Structure 1
Amino acid sequence: MRNNSVTYIMEGRQQRRRRWIIVTSILTALACILCLLMLLLGNTIYPIKDVIRTLTGEQIQGVSFAVNVIRLPRMLAGLFAGFAFGIAGTIFQTLFRNPLANPNVLGITSGSSATAVFCIVILQAGNAVISIASLIAGLITVIVIYGLSGIRGFSIGRLILIGIGVQAMFDALISYLMLVSAEQNLPAALRWLNGSLNGSQMHDLPPLIISVFILVPIIILLTKHLSILELGEQSAISLGVNTDITRMMLILSSVIMIALATSTTGPIAFITFLAGPIAKRLVGAGFSTIIPAGLVGANIVLASDLIGQFAFDVRFPVGVITGIIGAPYLIYLLIRMNQRGEL
């Protein structure tokens, strides 16, 4: 009887592992296809062979400039920003066991956004300064929110409420900055606030790409502790997890990626909301959704950018398309949580 139970458990685990591998492989293949389409499509559609020759360093008149200078940076920005947003969103949702506990609601993205708008419309700073300032603002915001929520004992509900208040404050500051800014600075600020891959340049991408390659392995190493934290604070402590250090490392890693992604593409709407739940439904229970969530986020951003560029007579920024997709999900989520008595 015992052997049968062990066999049943092992078979279930193997099935879940196969499902994880299949889902992750499909998401990876889809991301590769979307990346290829980002390089092929534009005002002029180039053959695959010309694009490959250009990427390998061969100079082809017209193709080299369009692919290497315009399309490749746009594709890489969408890929890595979407991946970073997806992973960060699912970490916050898992860590605080609440689908509303994501960087958008907690005010972290708004803190980076307000700082970036200040740098654009007041200081008229370059992209490097905007990136550094957004990163620092995001870190300070999360420290303040986390510190205030820890008064008299840490509380997830208090964290969300404080985050919503901080977000409202930063949104008001953004509105004020837009009102007092010079007219010539408004288009850049509005384009950035909507979340856009337009104007992405290769020299702006290294901080984001490097942060993803460094921080994602750290997050993966902490995935086991993250799963234990889902059981609750007391259970995690009894199992030997240093909850404060684990939580801070995960939050810090996520905030750095969010801040750098936001400074590169702007606050692309709802990716942090959508990626985690979609990945969890695809993968199922029993295995980490960190990598699948990142791939879902990347796929949504790339697909939304293609839709925004080619599906309508007018070209829309990627954030507009993700907002159209994500708003109904948020309404559905709020209704569902209300029915369960979670609000």
Structure 2
Amino acid sequence: MSTKSVIDLPSPTELSAAQDLVVPTGRREIQVRLGRWAWRIDRTSTLVAILLAVAALLTGFISLALGDIRVPFDQILPALLGDSERRYEVVVRDWRLTRMILALVFGFALGISGALFQSLTRNPLGSPDVIGFSSGAYTVALALMLFTTASATQIALGSIVGGLLAAALVFIIASREGTNGFRLIVVGIGVGAMLASANTFMLLAAQSQVAMSAAVWGSGSLNSVSNTVLGPSLVGIALFAVAAVFLQRQARILECGDALATSLGVNARLLRASMVIVGVGLVAVTTAAAGPIAFVALVVPQIAARLTRRAELDLLPAGCLGALLLVLADTIARVAFMPIQLPVGIVTVCLGGVYLIWLLVRESRS
């Protein structure tokens, strides 16, 4: 009687990602080296990222002209350069430019964060919105806003701490029997639900006027952003984004499974913790300035993957698509219902809700 040994083979997606790191894949790539660091840059992904970045910048440029006071398109560039009528300079430079820049930067950050979490969990539902990390950042920021006299900087730092604490709690609970993407999502949903209840309780316990302002901020809004948050937000997101780029290569190896990653010298546990810290940091900086902007991190990575036709982690296209989506959503929120300016989170929830329904239907059929 003969016996057969059963071997667990990697899926085609995992095998493709592993081959991309070891042997050529047939895709056109550019080799980039920086000291001991080396990257393969896929030409298709780079082209998609460039086109998305150009589209995001053009959308932002157009948004500068739209609003209660219309600015002629031929006056936008002169207004930016200080060579136009004073009223146009005030509208473009003082009222709309900072908001447009922050929409691009926050969208970029959320796109990268969503890509990191979906790579970490190997699940299209693995975004900071679903897992509950955004709720942790919002909880601490909300407590500081409602019950203390904390400054904007202190609220921003508290938001980052809150997001990291929520991430640590979810990560510790989910890792008790070995980290698993599905377990991480389920635990995150539970922690996020508890934090959402705490947020609601704090809003009910606060004074009505303060609670109303906090509730508007909590829906994700760029309506009241100012120049004071521009510099810290740019610095914080830049630092976390650079860290994400350095994690990308090892994260792609981890997508192929812990066994392969360990055999190639990757510390899987440390890498997961680093990805969580970087992803939460990107979300926390955004939440501190504009509130929890939902569903951008959920929607963007999957759409970017379809545009680039890559199954593995690809940060730059996801970030550029996030910037395009958020600046477009903010423009709609600002001009579609004039003179009322909706929080941008309402628009992203509507767009993300449609995507989530489609995703659940597709997953149920497969």
Q: Is the 8 A contact 1:77 1:265 kept in 2?
A: no
For residues 32 and 284 of structure 1, the distance between their equivalents in structure 2, rounded to whole angstroms, comes to: 24
Identify the residue that residue 295 of structure 2 maps to in structure 1: 270
1:241 to 262, 266, 269: 266
Structure 1 residues 117-171: Cα deviation after superposition (integer angstroms, max 9, x where no partner): 2222222533222111101111111111111111132232322221111101111
Single out whichever of 105-114 and 17-26 deviates more from structure 2: 17-26
1:280 to 291, 296, 305: 305
Identify the residue that residue 51 of structure 1 maps to in structure 2: 76
For residues 203 and 66 of structure 1, the distance between their equivalents in structure 2, rounded to whole angstroms, comes to: 18
Single out whichever of 29-38 and 217-226 deviates more from structure 2: 217-226
The structure with the largest helix share of the pair is 1
Single out whichever of 183-192 and 132-141 deviates more from structure 2: 183-192
2:278 to 253, 258, 265: 253
CA shift, 1:310, in A, is 2.0
Q: Aligned pairs, how many?
A: 332
Paired residue type of 1:12: G
1:229 to 1:128, Cα distance in 2 relative to 1, 3 A? same
Specify the SS of the correspondent of 1:104.
helix
Specify the SS of the correspondent of 2:224.
coil
Specify the SS of the correspondent of 2:139.
helix
1:333 to 359, 362, 366: 359
**In the alignment, structure 1 residue 123 sits paired with structure 2 residue 137:** no
1:286 to 1:121, Cα distance in 2 relative to 1, 3 A? closer
Identify the residue that residue 234 of structure 2 maps to in structure 1: 209
Specify the SS of the correspondent of 1:199.
coil
Identify the residue that residue 27 of structure 2 maps to in structure 1: 13
For residues 241 and 359 of structure 2, the distance between their equivalents in structure 1, rounded to whole angstroms, comes to: 28
Specify the SS of the correspondent of 2:68.
coil
Map 1:164-179; keep pairs closer than 5 Å: 164-179=189-204
For residues 324 and 122 of structure 1, the distance between their equivalents in structure 2, rounded to whole angstroms, comes to: 31
1:156 to 181, 197, 216: 181
Structure 1 residues 104-127: Cα deviation after superposition (integer angstroms, max 9, x where no partner): 121110011122222222225332
Specify the SS of the correspondent of 2:114.
helix
CA shift, 1:223, in A, is 1.4
1:34 to 1:173, Cα distance in 2 relative to 1, 3 A? same
CA shift, 1:48, in A, is 4.4
2:60 to 12, 35, 39: 35
2:332 to 301, 307, 315: 307
Identify the residue that residue 322 of structure 1 maps to in structure 2: 348
Paired residue type of 2:293: I
Paired residue type of 1:13: R
How large is the RMSD of aligned CA atoms in angstroms?
Answer: 2.1
Q: Is the 8 A contact 2:113 2:297 kept in 1?
A: yes
Paired residue type of 2:233: L
For residues 88 and 186 of structure 2, the distance between their equivalents in structure 1, rounded to whole angstroms, comes to: 51
Gaps of 5+ in 1: 1-8
Paired residue type of 2:203: M
CA shift, 1:251, in A, is 1.6
CA shift, 1:181, in A, is 1.1
TM-score normalised by the chain length of structure 1: 0.90
For residues 276 and 70 of structure 1, the distance between their equivalents in structure 2, rounded to whole angstroms, comes to: 31
For residues 204 and 238 of structure 2, the distance between their equivalents in structure 1, rounded to whole angstroms, comes to: 39
Identify the residue that residue 132 of structure 2 maps to in structure 1: 107
CA shift, 1:57, in A, is 4.9
Identify the residue that residue 185 of structure 1 maps to in structure 2: 210
CA shift, 1:226, in A, is 1.0
Specify the SS of the correspondent of 1:213.
helix
Structure 1 residues 261-312: Cα deviation after superposition (integer angstroms, max 9, x where no partner): 1111111110011110010000112775201111111111111111122223
Single out whichever of 254-263 and 210-219 deviates more from structure 2: 210-219
Structure 1 residues 13-63: Cα deviation after superposition (integer angstroms, max 9, x where no partner): 128944223211210110110121222222222234543334335585223
Gaps of 5+ in 2: 1-22, 30-40
Single out whichever of 306-315 and 234-243 deviates more from structure 2: 306-315
Q: Is the 8 A contact 2:111 2:296 kept in 1?
A: yes
Specify the SS of the correspondent of 1:13.
coil
For residues 95 and 112 of structure 1, the distance between their equivalents in structure 2, rounded to whole angstroms, comes to: 20
For residues 247 and 42 of structure 1, the distance between their equivalents in structure 2, rounded to whole angstroms, comes to: 43
1:188 to 1:125, Cα distance in 2 relative to 1, 3 A? farther
TM-score normalised by the chain length of structure 2: 0.85
1:288 to 1:159, Cα distance in 2 relative to 1, 3 A? closer
Identify the residue that residue 254 of structure 2 maps to in structure 1: 229
